[in-house]
Amino acid sequence: MVETKTTSWGYRQDSEECSILTFWHGDWSQIPWRGRPDHYVAFMRFRRGAVAFITAGLLVAGCGSSGDSSGTKSSEGGDAASPLVDPLDSGDQFNTLDPVIVRTDFVPGPVATSDGLVHLTYEIQTTSLSREDTELESVAVMRPDSPTDVLIELTGEALEHATTVIGQRDATTTLAPGSTLVTYIDLVFDSIDDVPTEVDNAVATSGADHATIRRFRVSDIEVDTYGPPLRGAGWIAGEGCCSPPTHHRRGIRSINGKGVIPERFAIDFLQVVDGIAYENNGDANEDWFGWDAQVIAVADGVVASTFDGMATNDMVDPGELPSTVPEGGGNQVIIDHGNGQFSAYLHMQAGSLEVQEGDIVERGQLLGRLGNSGHSSAPHLHFQLGTANSIGSGEGLPFVFDEFELLGTFENGLIDAIPDAPGDQVAAVPPPVGPGVRTNELPLDVTLINFAD
């Protein structure tokens, strides 16, 4: 028997005719199953699709001639297939009781980003079926055709920082009875050709004698190229993709009973001059450098909807900010680009909108003026791309800008550009890939970029 060892997930080939797929966490000498240390779960695939259950060598079966050697244990999920996500049946299922339900609502396609890499970003939901508190111990993602090829494995603090209770923001790996955790996955590849079309997701919890494995298909919705939504220099791409998860990405909403993340790839564009976002003391909206900037269409399309008439928020005493749809987005424009994709431009100034529903617009056309309306605490433009004519429904989609100049990154986030007092700001550091013009990429979170004038 040829045996491959790994510190994550392993594969054994007993002969050319018979394959055993064995999942374990850690080295063989440290199998984390409770009770007997030699207890593990394996799956055996036979010529006619019969499946044998093996625990600690209790069952002996003969193998026929080689055939389809795939075989991945999947949880009994009950997900209905949709145009956005297809939880794949990985062949003949090995039906055993799992401690958790593992699912996702959407796996967006991969996107080229300003770090010179390609990101595949999605969320795994884990629902406990236990009557007691359990701990999420590890989450791993693997290529289905190569179980030893672990794309990412999250444990310890890394797992905790990437996981929350669904609908909440505090990091935790504790699964209360019947509760659901969301783990935010960000896979990084050198090129688009390295990205698999399907991914196996392995979730291990305390007290369980096996990991729960679920396979998902990566969306084939094309990542399209768009022009800039703004002009000029000094724009911070705040609260953007991809890791750690920002408030945009954590914004899971239920629409007609289905969970969606409309703002998954949204960006808050905040303008800075010499590393700071405002002059004077910033107590007036007009003190902020982005105030009144021209907001422009990123591509040709038809105005699908507008919302106008919301007052500008006071910088000193903004009062209670709206959290409903569409009021939370303030004065806004949504454009249908005719490809199943809608761009949204939020928080603009009241009375500044230059278009109305039904208007045909061209790339670069003026839509309105950057403001501070709706659920907003400072003048900025919230931009997002999604699958629906609404800021609160549909899935958030990745996108790339055809061109921008990358200047640097704010290591501590937007707080570096919004100090307590002018002069306290921290300058952006040069990006690892080096500053310069970037084409057909998505600017990552807290990168500082220039658009063409």
- What is the pLDDT confidence band of residue 64, given thresholds at 50, 70 and 90? very low
340 phi-psi bin (left φ>0, alpha ψ -120 to 50, beta other): left
| Burial (CB count within 10 angstroms: exposed 0-12, middle 13-18, buried 19+), residue 341 | buried
Q: Please give the structure tokens belonging to residue 135.
A: 């701990």
- pTM score, two decimals? 0.78
User: What gap in Å lies between CA 173 and CA 136, rounded to an integer?
Assistant: 5
Calculated CA dihedral for residues 366, 265, 340, 144, nearest 10 degrees: 160
How is 250-287 classified by DSSP, letter by letter? T--EEETTEEE-TTTT-EEEEE-BTTBSBSTTS-SGGG
User: What gap in Å lies between CA 399 and CA 112, rounded to an integer?
Assistant: 9
- Which residue, 339, 182, 169, is CA-closest to 260? 182
Sequence-separated (6 or more) residues with CB below 8 Å from residue 69: 19, 45
3-state class (DSSP) for residue 233: coil
User: What gap in Å lies between CA 223 and CA 397, rounded to an integer?
Assistant: 8
Each residue of 313-345: pLDDT tens digit?
A: 998 888 788 777 888 899 999 999 999 999 999
Q: What is the pLDDT of residue 443?
A: 96
Q: Please give the structure tokens belonging to residue 168.
A: 């909440």
Each residue of 406-452: pLDDT tens digit?
A: 999 887 777 776 766 666 666 778 888 888 999 999 999 999 999 99
- What is the pLDDT confidence band of residue 17, given thresholds at 50, 70 and 90? very low
Each residue of 351-369: pLDDT tens digit?
A: 999 999 999 999 999 999 9
- What is the pLDDT confidence band of residue 43, given thresholds at 50, 70 and 90? very low
Calculated CA dihedral for residues 160, 161, 164, 167, nearest 10 degrees: 180
Paired strand residues for 13: 2, 19
Q: What is the pLDDT of residue 88?
A: 52
Q: What is the pLDDT of residue 78?
A: 35
**Strands of 166-282, DSSP E:** 174-175, 180-189, 198-205, 212-217, 225-226, 235-238, 253-255, 258-260, 267-271
- Which residue, 368, 233, 355, 209, is CA-closest to 295? 368
Sequence-separated (6 or more) residues with CB below 8 Å from residue 234: 271, 272, 273, 289, 448, 450
Each residue of 200-224: pLDDT tens digit?
A: 999 999 988 889 999 999 998 889 9
Give me the mean pLDDT over the 113-122 stretch.
96
**Between 276 and 142, residue with greater pLDDT:** 142
User: What gap in Å lies between CA 388 and CA 336, rounded to an integer?
Assistant: 9
User: What gap in Å lies between CA 275 and CA 236, rounded to an integer?
Assistant: 10
Q: What is the pLDDT of residue 376?
A: 92
CATH architecture of 223-453: Distorted Sandwich (2.70)
User: What gap in Å lies between CA 289 and CA 381, rounded to an integer?
Assistant: 12
Contact 51, 35 (CB under 8 A): no
CATH superfamily of 100-217: Immunoglobulins (2.60.40.10)
User: What gap in Å lies between CA 288 and CA 306, rounded to an integer?
Assistant: 25
Q: Locate the domains of the chain by residue range.
A: 2-54, 100-217, 223-453
Paired strand residues for 45: 19, 51
Burial 389-412 (b: 16+ CB within 10 A, else e): ebbbbbbbbbbbbebbebbbbbee
- Which residue, 233, 199, 34, is CA-closest to 110? 199
User: What gap in Å lies between CA 405 and CA 450, rounded to an integer?
Assistant: 5
Contact 318, 375 (CB under 8 A): no
Question: What percent of the chain is modeled with pLDDT above 90?
Answer: 57
Sequence-separated (6 or more) residues with CB below 8 Å from residue 428: 275, 407, 408, 409, 410, 416, 448
H helix or E strand, kind and range, residue 161: helix 156-161
User: What gap in Å lies between CA 2 and CA 330, rounded to an integer?
Assistant: 62
- Which residue, 353, 271, 347, is CA-closest to 312? 347
User: What gap in Å lies between CA 399 and CA 446, rounded to an integer?
Assistant: 17
Contact 135, 149 (CB under 8 A): no
Paired strand residues for 43: 21, 53
